[in-house]
Structure 1
Amino acid sequence: MRLSTVILPIDRWHEGGRDAWLRAEELGFHAAYTYDHLSWRTFRDGPWFGAVPTLTAAAAATTRMRLGTLVTSPNFRHPVTLAKDLITLDDVSNGRIVLGIGAGGNGFDATALGQEAWTPRQRADRFGEFVPLLDRLLTEDSVTYDGTFYSAVEARNLPGCVQRPRIPFAVAATGPRGLRLAAKHGQAWVTTGDPKLFESGTPEESLQAIRGQIEKLGAACEEIGREVDELDKVLLTGFTPQPGRPLESLDAFVDFAGRHFELGISEIVLHAPIPDSDFAADLKVFEQIATEGLAQLGR
């Protein structure tokens, strides 16, 4: 099992931002991710910086830890320009970039460019075109494409990614169409659990929901003749009922991680603590989990 973290882009780079990424690497996290939003929920009226420049700075400041988005979506991205940014990020980081990618939601990003918020079906339609086109753009020297939502005319992406054939995709999905995209194009699959359980679900219901999602992922892989074990399975914590509240104590984390490892989760992602927010937690406990959690788990 791997342990990673999310660092929200809320601090100026020279006033705590850089230190957060350096500290994550020092603590030994497998990867550090950031959200790719224009603004987000309770942080909307405060500082919020762009994901791509933040990751570029983090790539220059760190040397070992993997870096990525969790997640990027079509809400305000176009595959052609995103591909160019990702190739550059992969170069700057010397092959340490992971693209977390999802269909997006109804948050502030959904209407920031002046469009009406898309329905779930419309988001799925766009996502179904976005991912395969991005795959091509990151693996082919020149791409021409005329789709329903996106076009590319001799879009050149030389020299391509440092990682071959391209940077890995971690596809966030729970519905059938998204799971098929994960099975076909993903090197990893991402879940936050079942959001319907956030308000009133129990930890056991959450575990059962994730078990069901992994079974559906397996079925999607079987349809195309792929082994589900080929995909890493990533759990982004903080959005569903969780046994023991993993950041409450080292023991709580070990219990939480063990239960999810038994389900097949191979990477757990913890939010770096942010005081006076939904992600408030004891920093000392967080750092103890980072340095001792997997050893205590025996993984």
Structure 2
Amino acid sequence: MSLRLSTVILPVHRWHEGGRERWQRAEEQGFHAAYTYDHLSWREPFRDGPWFGALPTLTAAASATSRLRLGTLVTSPNFRHPVTLAKELLSLDDISDGRVVLGVGAGGNGFDASALGQQPWTPRERADRFAEFVPLLDRLLRDPVVTYDGEFYSAHEVRGVPGCVQRPRLPFAVAATGPRGLLLAARYGEAWVTTGDPRVSEKGTPAESLQAVRDQIVRLGTACAETGRDASEPEKILLTGFTPGNPLESLDAFVDFAGKHAEAGITEIVLHWPLPGTRFEADESVFEQIATEALGQLEQKR
């Protein structure tokens, strides 16, 4: 698998005040895909600022672009239900003419965890819900009629007609690092997503972080073996911005970072579109240079 380069555009800009332009520029700069976060709001400094809905934003982006793949990084059960989510995804896949990928994870203890009035779930409760959420969503996007009665979710004669443009359904990119989540990624994911190891990211070095990603890929391979799947099949996506070091410091720094992670097994690297005054601040001219030149330089080094 050759390395792909994608971006994530946080939904913080009004569509007619720079929002549309960023998605169109992502396509013009040659990114493989552009994603957005699926939250009701996010951590500081975004908590009290503009934050728009992921699926309406992606629908608008689908109408403003023609080639760019579009998706969430990531959707979670924190405030989503598989039945309503499946209908919205099926519609988005149709509007985009089959350019949608669903990034999906178990969720965390952020602002979304209690937005609907519930107490935040424990890690075990999140894992239990995730283990039911993904298989049901898989069925809802594949089958014309679904009835299901589970511990956390139910569906009664839910119609999925006419089905996804992408067959048998739009692809899932499953974010996971624990054993249960990795098994879900192995069973249901056309791709797997990581942000690295948070324990290493806080106090570790870039080299230690790279090794942690290698170790995660090994564990994903073990999960694939348990499910009878070839470990080379799932794409391996790294969402940057949470590992030690600054790969967006320069084109050379990124090419070095990307080359090492590609050798480790990563097949897609996702960069945050620069946002001044945040942890995702970066020089926009360097960012554009990386978008347009980095993969060519990597090819030359092989």
TM-score greater than 0.5 by the shorter chain? yes
Gaps in structure 1 of 5+ consecutive residues: none
Q: Which runs of 5+ in 2 are unaligned?
A: none
In structure 1, the partner of 2:207 is 204
**Equivalent in 35, 38, 60 of residue 36 of structure 1:** 38
Structure 1 residue 118: Cα displacement:
0.4
SS in 1 for 2:61: helix
State how far apart, in whole Å, the 2-side matches of 1:11 and 1:21 are: 11
Q: Which residue among 190, 195, 206 is the counterpart of 1:187?
A: 190
C-alpha contact 2:113 2:121 (8 A) present in aligned 1: yes
Tell me the secondary structure at the aligned position of residue 229 of structure 1: coil
* 1:74 maps onto 2:74 in alignment: no
Q: Hey, what does 2:231 align to over in structure 1? A: 228
Equivalent residues of 2:145, 2:160 under 8 A apart:
yes
- Residue deviations 1:121-154, cap 9 Å, x none? 0000000000000000000001000000000000
Mapped to 1, the partners of 2:296 and 2:251 lie a distance apart of 11
Between 111-120 and 195-204, the greater mean CA deviation after superposition: 195-204
Partner of 1:17: 19
Residues 194-245 of structure 1, C-alpha deviations (whole Å, 9 max, x = no match): 0112221111110111111000000000011110111000000011214xx2
Distance 2:18 2:164 in 1: 30
Opposite residue 253 of structure 1, the aligned amino acid is F
Instruction: Measure how far apart 1:63 and its partner are.
Output: 0.1
Identity %: 75
The answer to whether the Cα contact below 8 Å between 2:200 and 2:212 also exists between their aligned partners in 1 is no
Moved more, 61-70 or 191-200: 191-200
Amino acid aligned to 1:203: P
3-state SS of paired residue (1:228): coil
Separation in 1 of the partners of 2:180 and 2:223? Answer: 9
Structure 1 residue 174 corresponds to structure 2 residue 177:
yes
Match of 1:292, as an amino acid? E
Aligned to 1:256: 257
- Tell me the SS of whatever aligns to 2:203: coil
- Separation in structure 1 between the aligned mates of residue 40 and residue 197 of structure 2, nearest angstrom: 24
Residues 138-196 of structure 1: CA deviation (Å, up to 9, x unaligned): 00001000000000000101001000000000000000000000000000000000011
* Aligned: 1:266 with 2:247: no
Q: Deviations over 1:42-75 (max 9, x none)?
A: 1011000000000000001000010000000000
Structure 1 length as normaliser, TM-score? 0.99
Corresponding letter in the other structure for 1:278: R
Q: Which residue of 2 aligns with 1:109?
A: 112
Q: Quick one: which amino acid aligns to residue 31 of structure 1? A: A
**What secondary structure, in the 3-state scheme, does the structure 2 residue paired with 1:83 have?**
helix
* Amino acid aligned to 2:98: G
Local SS of the residue matching 1:212: helix
Report the counterpart of residue 6 of structure 2 in structure 1.
Answer: 4
Counterpart of 2:28, as a letter, is E
Matched residues, number: 297
- Runs of 4+ displaced beyond 3 Å: none
- Paired residue secondary structure (1:205): helix
SS in 2 for 1:82: helix
Name the amino acid aligned to 1:22. Answer: Q
3-state SS of the aligned residue for 2:237?
A: strand
Letter in 2 for 1:39: S
Q: In structure 1, how many angstroms separate the alpha carbons of the residues matched to 2:244 and 2:217?
A: 18
In the other structure, the counterpart of 1:136 is 139
CA distance in 2, matches of 1:184, 1:127: 13
TM-score with structure 2 length normalisation? Answer: 0.98
